[in-house]
Structure 1
Amino acid sequence: MKAPTLLLLLGTLPLAAQQRPAINGISHIAIYAHDMAAAQRYYEHDMGLKKASDPENSAGTRYYVNATQFVEVLPLPAQAGISRLDHLAYKTVDAAGLRSYLAAKRVEVPATVQTLNDGSKTFSVKDPEGNTVEFVQPGKADLSGAQPIGTRIIHVGMVVHDRAKEDTFYREILNFRPYWYGGGTDGRTSWVSQQTPEANEWVEYMLPREGQELTQKQAGVMNHYSIGVVNMEQAVSTLAAQDRLSTEHSPMQIGRDGKWQFNSYDDEGTRTELMEFTPVMTPCCSPITAPHPKP
């Protein structure tokens, strides 16, 4: 008689008590471009990503880093502002279950999960600052012929104005965990890295100064994505030798987090940051508090 009683009790648990399905890393960044041909040259030729059709938006194009991570490029809408970011997306093992979990946490969710023609399942919500956040249960992708400069997106970044407000969603509801924080100068925090709960990839809060009005260039620096590389010198040398540095870029350097990095920009100013997986120097500002991603 105990088993039916247990099932009855489980059936009466409040929705808020249900378990969150795993969020196992970054799916993609979706950005805008006014010149889709220039975007193709940059993401396919320069970054070596695999071009494919976009099952979510027929006007867009996907550029795959690996079978489950990609850059989605969409046509620039009329009356677009300075930002070229459409949304950031994270992977989950159960899109329908995560939608139900978020609904139980009083996050506004769509009525259903969408199934795309690549077999992926997806839905989107808004974070506390109004940014679109998509969750993707991955489908399948053909990566034949790709020569990506790195094979893993290790982080994405977005403009955040209120760290505490965003933490109510990313930390308290989604259970992202602290990784590192710092700034360009001592005494001011400009970057806050929060790792996804079941993987060592992270979202980076990019914090402008209070009241700062961003230019398109500054927004492109902040709204960015990062590909992990094992050896920065080798990666940059490969890009140079193969004539894959056709757009604005900066010399490789050691960042304030102690890691080698290299910044390159598409024609709209969106930044691709190559980054080594582990520091070569002690990071400034705060300790690393979670494991590093691996190649």
Structure 2
Amino acid sequence: MRVEGNCSDLPLFGRAADCWYHRPADTREFENKEPSNLRRKAMLADNIRLKSINHITYNVKNKDAALKWYEDVLGVKQIPKMVNSDHLYWLQLPSGAMVHIIENPDAPSAPSHHTAFEVDDIEASQKYFLDKGVETTDIQTRNDGQRAFYINDPDGNRIELCTVSGFGVLV
């Protein structure tokens, strides 16, 4: 497919691949790549493209002291938690991104337990990782309808893939 003009009618990753391929050969590093292969790889990224940080989780020794600090120092506001658990608080930034503080006196406070990324299609995202040989947890649905699963990176860092939270921005 030959793309004319500024390629603005293609999805972001596909647009970059097609525009790169159709530049003059002396401005490309890989002259022998077929556009279909580049496009296929780029479209795969569009299918599960990470959209934003959903929440960050921190282990704390005392959840009440941590809540006071996050509210008083950082201005992060407490919101209703969407899981049935007494050892944590959920807080939210004006952007909708959340901070979850979990009371765990014996756990190290850094690094955070995991980072969560929002995706549009949770099933397609899980299939993508399984097809790549990455183990995933089962997809779980939370009280507010948000769906999520977890993977680990090669170093064992936990990553959550999730849909948009069902309760929206509350602060």
Write the deviation string for residues 60-83 of structure 1: whole angstroms up to 9, x where unpaired. Answer: 1111114641111011153x2463
Report the equivalent of 2:57.
Answer: 30
Question: Secondary structure of the residue that 2:136 maps to in structure 1?
Answer: coil
Report the equivalent of 2:92.
Answer: 64
Q: Which amino acid counterpart does residue 122 of structure 1 have in structure 2?
A: A
Structure with greater proportional helix content = 2
**In 1, are the aligned partners of 2:55 and 2:115 still within 8 Å (CA)?**
yes
Structure 2 residue runs without a partner (length 5+): 1-40
**Aligned length, in residue pairs:** 127
Q: Which runs of 4+ in 1 moved over 4 A?
A: none
1:73 counterpart (80, 90, 101)? 101
**In 1, are the aligned partners of 2:58 and 2:109 still within 8 Å (CA)?**
no
**In 2, are the aligned partners of 1:30 and 1:71 still within 8 Å (CA)?**
yes
Mapping of residues 70-219 of structure 1, within 5 Å: 70-78=98-106, 80-81=107-108, 83-110=110-137, 112-141=138-167, 143-144=169-170, 146=171
**In 1, are the aligned partners of 2:96 and 2:169 still within 8 Å (CA)?**
no
Write the deviation string for residues 178-214 of structure 1: whole angstroms up to 9, x where unpaired. Answer: xxxxxxxxxxxxxxxxxxxxxxxxxxxxxxxxxxxxx
Q: 1:91 to 1:53 in 2, by over 3 A?
A: same
Cα distance in 2 for partners of 1:143, 1:49 equals 13
Structure 1 residue runs without a partner (length 5+): 1-16, 147-295
Report the equivalent of 1:229.
Answer: none
Cα distance in 2 for partners of 1:62, 1:46 equals 16
Taking only aligned residues, the RMSD between alpha carbons, in angstroms, comes to 2.3
Q: Which amino acid counterpart does residue 103 of structure 1 have in structure 2?
A: L
Write the deviation string for residues 92-133 of structure 1: whole angstroms up to 9, x where unpaired. Answer: 1112211111101110112x3111111211111100110110
Identity of aligned residues (%): 25
Q: 1:106 to 1:68 in 2, by over 3 A?
A: farther
Mapping of residues 40-51 of structure 1, within 5 Å: 40-51=67-78
Question: Secondary structure of the residue that 1:43 maps to in structure 2?
Answer: helix
Asked which structure has the greater RCO (Cα within 8 Å, sep 6+), the reply is 2
Mapping of residues 12-27 of structure 1, within 5 Å: 19=44, 20-27=47-54
Question: Secondary structure of the residue that 2:58 maps to in structure 1?
Answer: strand
Cα distance in 1 for partners of 2:109, 2:75 equals 27
Structure with greater proportional strand content = 1
Question: Secondary structure of the residue that 2:70 maps to in structure 1?
Answer: helix
Cα distance in 1 for partners of 2:110, 2:144 equals 29
**In 1, are the aligned partners of 2:59 and 2:108 still within 8 Å (CA)?**
no
**In 1, are the aligned partners of 2:57 and 2:102 still within 8 Å (CA)?**
yes
**In 1, are the aligned partners of 2:48 and 2:125 still within 8 Å (CA)?**
yes
TM-score, normalisation: structure 1: 0.39
